[in-house]
Amino acid sequence: MSHDDINPHEPVAPEAEPVDEVGTEELTEDPGAGDGAPEEAAAGLDIEPVAAVMAQALDAVEQAPDTSGLRPVGEATYGPPIDAETVQGPDNRVQITATGSYPWRVHCSLLITANDGSQWIGTGWFNGPSSIITAGHCVFIHAPGTQRHGWVRSIEVMPGRNGASLPYGRFLVPRAQLRSVHGWTTGPDHEFDYGALLLTEPKGNATGWLGFANWSDATLNAKSLNLSGYPGDKPSGTQWYHWSGVAALSARKVYYTLDTAGGQSGSGVYVFHEGGRYAVAIHAYGGSGSNSGTRINKPVFDNLKLWKG
Amino acid sequence: MTLRIRGVVLDAVGGPVPGARVALEAGPVPVPDVALLTGQDGTFELDLPTPGEYVVAVHGDDASAQARLTAPTESVVEVRLDRPGS
């Protein structure tokens, strides 16, 4: 009987299932407010204070006459929608204008130059002094057989941008400082759609950063999800915030009804925990059913910590 | 092989609109939430994840529009920005 060159007693284990990637240990990496003006007290919050005004407005809307049986006026021109849009139901996104203050200044408007010279907009967020997290498709574009395919040439970063106002300036991150993971660059596989920009200077010391966490389904289901980013359907370069509950969870994805639009890929989906803000997913997809992001499970957490340095 | 559509964004009088934000707003599968900027001549090339029916949303500084198409049957789209944006 032959066993080739493999020791027949070499230990083996079942191949890991996706569910194993969440793990049983809840892991957190703490946020930081940076050197700028101190952050407002966040203890006891579940959504951002700016949402309170909007929430009151929504309560008022709920008391308005029921118009749910009426068709959207847009259908008169465009016909019924193919599928749920990325902005789901009433658009109750809140524009952030105080983008020079924490936490808004950790969110970055990204101007991406692809390998073929085409330009794209996306969003990223500081997870440490010298690293910005975004979607995998913001750093590596899949377009096989075209000049666009592959790592993008560079990304211009504008932290806390508010239209033409750049409270923390702008800087260019070249291709060599971009990172993603095998599951995305050899994919595309939406379950591994995340990446990073590694900085040569600690720009995040001024802006601060979000914490990030690998939490269980039970912990996440009890939280509100928050997201702020740079949607392309709003005035150019303006930051918009929204919040919602968790719609569904899988081992590698978080689904939600957060309103998003093209340009918000890479935004941090975060929750409040003991007065701090912790990202639990990286927003990446819209356009069909609930929107979704890549869940910060144990392997993603480990990579975010590696890139944070 | 990449499934690609080509298009041009024009203003109300037919001139090219550079820097307009073009994104897939709806499709048969979830779509990446990025937006492409049109070139100086108003043109763009957008890649689709799979054949099917899509809504392409275009946003300029003061106007927005949508186009519906079925890929790969339709691979060229012209979008005219002639109504107020959001």
Domains of chain A and any CATH numbers: 45-49+94-308 (2.40.10.10)
Inside any domain, residue B45: yes
Inside any domain, residue B51: yes
Distances (CA, A) of A101 to A93, A133, A201, A206, B6: 19, 19, 20, 10, 40
What is the CATH number for B40? 2.60.40.1120
Q: How many domains does chain B have?
A: 1
Angle at A33 between CA A29 and CA A36, to 5 degrees: 155
To the query of whether residue A228 is one of the catalytic residues in this protein, the response is no
ipTM of the complex: 0.94
- Mutation for testing the A interface, residue in B3, B6, B21, B34 having most A CBs under 10 Å: B34
A88: nearest Cα among A104, A76, A72: A72
pLDDT in tens, B37-68: 999 999 999 999 999 999 999 999 989 999 99
Inside any domain, residue B86: no
Contact of B21 with B58, CB cutoff 8 Å: yes
Determine the pLDDT at residue B85.
Answer: 46
Inside any domain, residue B66: yes
Determine the pLDDT at residue A60.
Answer: 52
To the query of whether residue A190 is one of the catalytic residues in this protein, the response is no
Q: How far is B9 from chain A (nearest CA, A)?
A: 15
- Mutation for testing the B interface, residue in A77, A78, A86 having most B CBs under 10 Å: A86
- Mutation for testing the A interface, residue in B1, B25, B33 having most A CBs under 10 Å: B33
Whether a cis peptide bond, with omega within 30° of 0, leads into A174 is: no
Q: How far is A284 from chain B (nearest CA, A)?
A: 6
Q: Which pLDDT band, with edges at 50, 70 and 90, does B33 fall under?
A: very high
CB within 8 Å of chain B, chain A residues 225-254? 232-236
The phi and psi torsions of B79 (rounded to 5 degrees) equal -120, 130
pLDDT in tens, A252-271: 999 998 888 899 999 999 99
Determine the pLDDT at residue B19.
Answer: 97
CA quadruple A50, A124, A122, B29: dihedral sign = negative
Sequence-ordered list of residues with C-beta below 8 angstroms from that of A94, at least 6 positions apart, any chain:
A50, A51, A53, A54, A240, A241, A242
**Ranges of chain A whose pLDDT falls below 50:** 61-85
Which structural domain range is residue B54 located in? 3-81
What is the Cα B57 distance to its own chain's centre?
Answer: 5
Residues of chain B in Cβ contact (below 8 Å) with chain A: 1-2, 4, 19, 21-37, 39, 44-45, 47, 53-55, 57, 59, 61, 64, 66, 68, 85-86
| Partner-chain contact A288 B33, CB within 8 Å | no
| Residue A83 contacts B, CB cutoff 8 Å | yes
Determine the pLDDT at residue A86.
Answer: 57
Structure tokens that stand for B44 in this block: 């763009």
